[in-house]
Structure 1
Amino acid sequence: MNTLSIVIPALNEASNLPAVMGTVPVAELAAAGWRTEVVVVDNASTDDTAAVAHALGARVVHQPERGYGNAYLAGFDVATGDVIATGDADCTYPFDALPDLLRTLVDQDVEFMTTDRLHRTNRRAMKASHFVANHALSALSRTLFRNGLRDSQSGMWIFRRYIWDGLDVRSAGMAFSQEIKNAATTAGYRFMEVPIEYRTRGGEVKLNALPDGMANLRQLFNHRFRRQGGRGEAGIPAQKQRSERYEAV
């Protein structure tokens, strides 16, 4: 069978995890030839996120250094699947669409697939200010990296595990999302973007719109004009060499 790791960063998402895990179509994926593991990264939560995730059958990774990018670094470090899929633990991303997305990935021979939330049918699921900011950042990202991606901020990606070791992704925070897309497309991997349904968030909003937006803006320019480097042994980016900091259960 093919192997799939679904990596989900979570900060105080205990109340959302049952609904999120309930949308992962494990049986349908198995019927389509995919053996699935769900990796939930507990990003220093102060609620029962880790206990709830474990009870629901997820593999739990503890990442004490907060930050969206830090959470993904920990999750990717322990993921065992040949393909990795991502999405947030806030009920917004359609994990139930994974069978169709994976079928497209295989049929189109894609190495990195990202998703587009910024179409009219999703307007009600996103605050107007966030919708406008996402469009603005995405337009700037397209201008700087010339990859044609409509949604540089989407948090749902599906990619072949092997490409991760060829990417130099450095962001510890929310800019990780745009950076992994721009790194994958400029590295020459076969990529595509597909539209998805985006759903209303459950629970508390974690995004700090102004500081996160400014950090993303700075990162776009830093990434576009930086020297490539910072790689460790065997050409692997230094921050992605395996670390004992991440405790998985």
Structure 2
Amino acid sequence: MLLSIVIPTLNEEEGISSTITGIPFSTLSRMGHDVELLVVDGNSHDKTREIAAKLGAKVILEARRGYGRAYKTGFEQCSGQIIITLDADGTYPAEKIPEYVSHFQSTGLNFLTINRFGRLEDGAMSFSHKIGNKILSATLRLLFGLKIKDSQSGMWILRKDMILSNMPQSDGMGFSEEIKIIAFKDGNAAEIDGEYRRRLGEVKLQTVEDGVNNLRYLLKLRTTF
């Protein structure tokens, strides 16, 4: 089966190499999977695209800014029926992709998200980031009745046909919470404990501004769902 791994990037030259080389391509091949690697780049000004291309990634330049916009483009252009997502900064355990894919297939899920708080490395997340995430996750549970511990996790496994038939509207960081609402309302989604590590490269998240925008977006989504 063809798997598509989609990684959004913007000036991630410090982390993209470790992220890609950490993917266990040989293990996935022994499991019977071919792997397509797509890097969707938001016009980086460093060597992110060059490094990714040298490591075998198909690099897609997406001039329209936004975390969600990058994923929409990647999902639309990938060929695999199962999609795996990662950040480009080495924070997610790429080596566990085979384990997560096996769980995803054996349980017949349409969507699987990884709870970063299952094993959070010291220094991987600032105190304010932790508090903001707790508030957003609690708000999501309250507004939508979903049992999700980590509303902002960016490591997912999903079926392409599921997401193309019901694509989130957000082009920004709100995409992460919106895709979970869509998937869990579908009724065939799950969250499992994973890991989260210290970031390689500059932190781009603006905790207060992004947190407030995500909270507003959750309130907006409540009128839709």
**Corresponding residue to 1:212 among 205, 210, 213:** 210
Q: Shift in Å at residue 166 of structure 1?
A: 2.3
Letter in 2 for 1:104: H
Native 8 Å contact 1:118 1:135 kept in 2: no
Letter in 2 for 1:144: L
Q: Shift in Å at residue 119 of structure 1?
A: 3.7
Count of aligned pairs between the two proteins: 225
Change (3 A) 1:120 1:61: closer
Aligned 1:1-249 pairs, distance under 5 A: 2-119=1-118, 121-122=120-121, 124-186=123-185, 188-226=186-224
User: Larger deviation: 113-122 or 11-20?
Assistant: 113-122
User: Larger deviation: 117-126 or 140-149?
Assistant: 117-126
Output the TM-score relative to the length of structure 2: 0.96
User: Larger deviation: 43-52 or 148-157?
Assistant: 43-52
Q: Shift in Å at residue 44 of structure 1?
A: 1.6
Letter in 2 for 1:111: N
Letter in 2 for 1:200: R
Output the TM-score relative to the length of structure 1: 0.87
Distance in 1 between residues matched to 2:81 and 2:210, nearest whole Å: 31
Change (3 A) 1:131 1:123: farther
Change (3 A) 1:17 1:81: same
Letter in 2 for 1:194: I
Q: Shift in Å at residue 123 of structure 1?
A: 5.0
Secondary structure of 2:172's partner?
A: coil
Letter in 1 for 2:52: A
Native 8 Å contact 2:151 2:177 kept in 1: yes
Change (3 A) 1:213 1:82: same
Secondary structure of 2:198's partner?
A: coil
Letter in 2 for 1:137: L
Secondary structure of 2:216's partner?
A: helix
Native 8 Å contact 2:118 2:195 kept in 1: no
Stretches of 4+ moved more than 6 A in 1? Answer: none
Native 8 Å contact 1:123 1:131 kept in 2: no
Gaps of 5+ in 2: none
Native 8 Å contact 1:5 1:79 kept in 2: yes
Could you give the per-residue CA deviations for residues 121-166 of structure 1, whole angstroms, max 9, x where no partner exists?
Answer: 4453211111111111001001111110110000000011110122
Distance in 2 between residues matched to 1:200 and 1:121, nearest whole Å: 9
Change (3 A) 1:102 1:120: closer
Secondary structure of 2:75's partner?
A: helix
Secondary structure of 2:163's partner?
A: helix
Distance in 1 between residues matched to 2:175 and 2:7, nearest whole Å: 14
What's the RMSD between the two structures over aligned residues?
A: 1.2
